[in-house]
């Protein structure tokens, strides 16, 4: 016969053992979670400096491209360049500001076509167009938001493209872009969401007042120039195959129509360099963490400036496709 006292003691020991096991399991999960978070934070920091290094390298190599002398490091018309470093890889997008329209001089009809191509409803597009004209010194000042400490009042040219956020009707989605459901019959593996560009990718205070860069202009910018949807798709297909050349662009001219005369290649002095980096892990694989930074770079080659590379804007945090 088992003594009741001994049975109770055994049951108590079992309960205490179970409680200690639960505490140990919870502690192990907490330690593992903190270790993973620390590893992710470390990868993020390493990725940041890898992306910064990629921007610096691309800025130097582009110097040889914009300079009349020197060896060309990046192919003419290239819209991006990939770098492989011992510590990881980086993808750098080369976006000349001439691929965008000048926000302070773009005509109203092009603004309307641009906003329509970005998916803005006609009534809202008209309101935004009037607001931008008022913001940069035209008529209809009531359509601009009240001035504040960050933005001056109506009637002054825009000094930064972010000032468009003070225009009534421009939402963060319209300015920065967003993701929308993909249309049509989607096959296996096809993305359910596609990116819709924003005004920040189409307008700039350093944008072109004439022809825009054909190699990197956003499809909405091409539509704003008056290019037909078929012409836009033909140009996009051509530049996906290989960097554009004057010869290939000339062959496409009949399909582009009159809007083809508003395109140009090369001879740019201000670029946005956007680098996305992934660090290499100890096992040789690339981290899932991606880090993106960007810089707006101006090249001054007149001989009066040393060094000839000037950083106009730096973005510690930005997006990339």
The list of the chain residues with pLDDT below 70 reads 1-7, 33-38, 65-72, 138-156, 184-187, 189, 302-305, 320-321
Packing angle of the helix pair 108-117, 122-135 (nearest 10 deg): 140
CA 282 to chain centre: 29
Q: Which of helix, strand or coil describes residue 168?
A: coil
Pairing of β 270-279 and β 80-85: unpaired
CB-based contact 144:135 (threshold 8 Å): yes
Domain segments of the chain as ranges: 11-15+25-99+269-315
Torsion, Cα 168 102 295 84, to 10 degrees, reads 120
Q: Which of helix, strand or coil describes residue 214?
A: coil
In angstroms, how far is the first alpha carbon of the chain from the final one?
75
Question: Token pair of 20, please?
Answer: 């200690």
- The dihedral of CA 313, 275, 50, 86: what is its sign? negative
- The answer to whether the bond into 307 is cis (omega within 30° of 0) is yes
pLDDT for 302 equals 67
CA dist list (Å): 152 to 8, 159, 165, 175: 79, 10, 12, 19
State how far the Cα of 200 lies from the Cα of 163, in Å rounded to an integer: 11
Domain 11-15+25-99+269-315 has CATH 3.30.1300: yes
Cβ neighbours of residue 301 closer than 8 Å, sequence gap 6 or more: 66, 67, 68, 269, 308
- The dihedral of CA 201, 205, 208, 209: what is its sign? positive
CB-based contact 226:197 (threshold 8 Å): no
State how far the Cα of 65 lies from the Cα of 266, in Å rounded to an integer: 9
Among 152, 132, 151, smallest CA distance to 143 is for: 132
CB-based contact 145:171 (threshold 8 Å): no
Question: Token pair of 287, please?
Answer: 């981290």
What is the 8-class DSSP label of residue 137? T
CB-based contact 128:99 (threshold 8 Å): no
Pairing of β 263-264 and β 270-279: unpaired
Sheet holding 309-315, edge to edge: 80-85, 88-96, 270-279, 291-299, 309-315
Cβ neighbours of residue 63 closer than 8 Å, sequence gap 6 or more: 70, 299, 308, 309
């Amino acid at each position: 016969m088992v003594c009741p006292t001994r049975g109770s003691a055994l049951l108590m020991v079992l309960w205490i053992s179970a409680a200690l096991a639960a505490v140990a399991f919870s502690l192990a999960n907490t330690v593992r979670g903190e270790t993973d978070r620390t590893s992710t934070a470390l990868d993020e920091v390493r990725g940041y400096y890898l992306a910064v290094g990629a921007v610096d390298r691309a800025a130097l190599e582009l110097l040889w491209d914009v300079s009349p002398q020197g060896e060309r490091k990046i192919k003419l018309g290239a819209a991006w360049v990939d770098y492989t470093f011992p510590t990881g890889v980086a993808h750098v997008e080369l976006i000349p500001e001439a691929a965008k329209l000048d926000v302070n001089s773009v005509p109203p009809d092009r603004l309307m076509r641009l906003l329509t191509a970005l998916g803005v409803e006609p009534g809202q597009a008209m309101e935004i167009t009037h607001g931008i004209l008022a913001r940069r010194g035209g008529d209809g000042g009531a359509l601009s938001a009240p001035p504040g400490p960050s933005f001056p009042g109506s009637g002054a040219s825009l000094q930064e493209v972010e000032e468009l956020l003070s225009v009534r009707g421009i939402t963060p989605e319209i300015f920065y872009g967003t993701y929308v459901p993909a249309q049509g019959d989607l096959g296996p593996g096809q993305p359910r969401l596609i990116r819709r560009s924003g005004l920040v990718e189409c307008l700039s205070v350093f944008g072109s007042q004439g022809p825009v860069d054909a190699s990197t202009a956003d499809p909405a910018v091409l539509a704003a120039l008056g290019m037909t949807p078929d012409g836009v798709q033909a140009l996009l297909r051509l530049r996906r195959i290989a960097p554009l050349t004057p010869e290939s662009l000339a062959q496409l001219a009949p399909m582009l129509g009159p809007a083809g005369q508003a395109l140009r290649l090369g001879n740019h002095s201000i670029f946005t360099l956007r680098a996305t980096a992934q660090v290499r892990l100890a096992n040789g694989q690339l981290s899932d963490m991606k880090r993106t930074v960007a810089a707006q770079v101006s090249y001054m080659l007149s001989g009066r400036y040393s060094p000839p590379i000037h950083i106009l804007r730096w973005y510690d945090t930005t997006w990339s496709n």
